[in-house]
């Protein structure tokens, strides 16, 4: 394990600033996880060990946090992240079919991320637009009423590099 985990200098500086703000080092675990994820896109096993060592914890303590909080990732994500709401209202409006159509069209069937590392398709919990489901987010853009046909259109736009455009 390297001394700096190849983290950016800015991230290392912020980590060193954050830790002393807590009376107990262990309380800095979540802020550190967010900083590392912001820097590297996910929390690798090496990063979990590194954070644990920094905070005088065991790696298992860090792993438990990573697996508990849905916003923390233990795998790399694609350059584009497609999130499909699976909470009740969207699920009833067909979001599981939407997700399957996206996964098929974007070659993400055997896991969340396409083999070329371009796109991740994953489920998300309520995206706060329940009456316009199924709802999909592509990076920061919201798409509403995404049935299977619309899902394939969105996949086509992503494939052709147009990426996340107007909502609708
Ligand atoms: S249930 Fe899907 S946005 Fe709320």
Q: Where are the domains of the chain?
A: 9-68, 80-159
Interval 32-52: pLDDT, tens: 999 999 999 899 999 999 999
**Average per-residue pLDDT for the chain:** 92
Provide the pLDDT for residue 3: 76
pLDDT value at 168 more than 50: no
Mean pLDDT throughout 77-92?
94
User: Concatenated DSSP letters for 76-130?
Assistant: ---SEEEEEE-SHHHHHTTHHHHHHHHHHHTT-TTSSB-TTSSEEEEEES--S-G
Q: Which residue has the higher pLDDT, 4 or 140?
A: 140
Residue 92 Cα to ligand 1 midpoint, Å, equals 10
Interval 109-149: pLDDT, tens: 877 899 888 999 999 999 999 999 999 999 999 999 999 99
Query: What are the pocket residues of ligand 1 if the criterion is a CB atom closer than 6 Å to any ligand atom?
Result: 85, 87-90, 126-130, 133, 135
Residue 94 Cα to ligand 1 midpoint, Å, equals 11
Which residue in the block uniquely carries the two structure tokens 């798409």?
143
Domain 80-159 has CATH 3.40.30.10: yes
Top mutation candidate among 84, 85, 99, 143 for ligand 1, by most atoms within 8 Å of CB? 85
Cis preceding-peptide flag for 134 (omega within 30 of 0) = yes
Q: What CATH fold (topology level) applies to the domain 9-68?
A: Arc Repressor Mutant, subunit A (1.10.10)
- Predicted TM-score of the model (pTM): 0.72
Provide the pLDDT for residue 39: 94
CA distance 53 to 157: 44
Point out which residues pair with 62 in neighbouring strands: none
Contact criterion met (CB below 8 Å) for 28 and 18: yes
């Amino acid at each position: 394990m390297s001394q700096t985990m190849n983290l950016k200098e800015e991230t290392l500086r912020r980590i060193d600033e954050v830790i002393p703000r807590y009376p107990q080092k262990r309380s800095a675990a979540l802020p550190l996880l967010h900083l590392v994820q912001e820097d590297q896109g996910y929390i690798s096993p090496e990063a979990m060990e590194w954070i644990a060592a920094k905070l005088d914890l065991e790696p298992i303590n860090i792993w438990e946090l990573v697996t508990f909080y849905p916003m923390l990732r233990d795998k790399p994500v694609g350059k584009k992240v497609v999130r499909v709401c699976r909470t009740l209202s969207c699920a009833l409006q067909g979001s599981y079919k939407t997700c399957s159509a996206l996964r098929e069209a974007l070659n993400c069937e055997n896991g969340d991320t396409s083999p070329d590392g371009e796109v991740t398709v994953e489920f998300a919990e309520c995206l706060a637009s329940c009456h316009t489901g199924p709802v999909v987010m592509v990076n920061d853009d919201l798409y509403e009423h995404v049935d299977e046909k619309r899902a394939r259109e969105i996949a086509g736009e992503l494939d052709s590099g147009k990426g996340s455009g107007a909502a609708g």
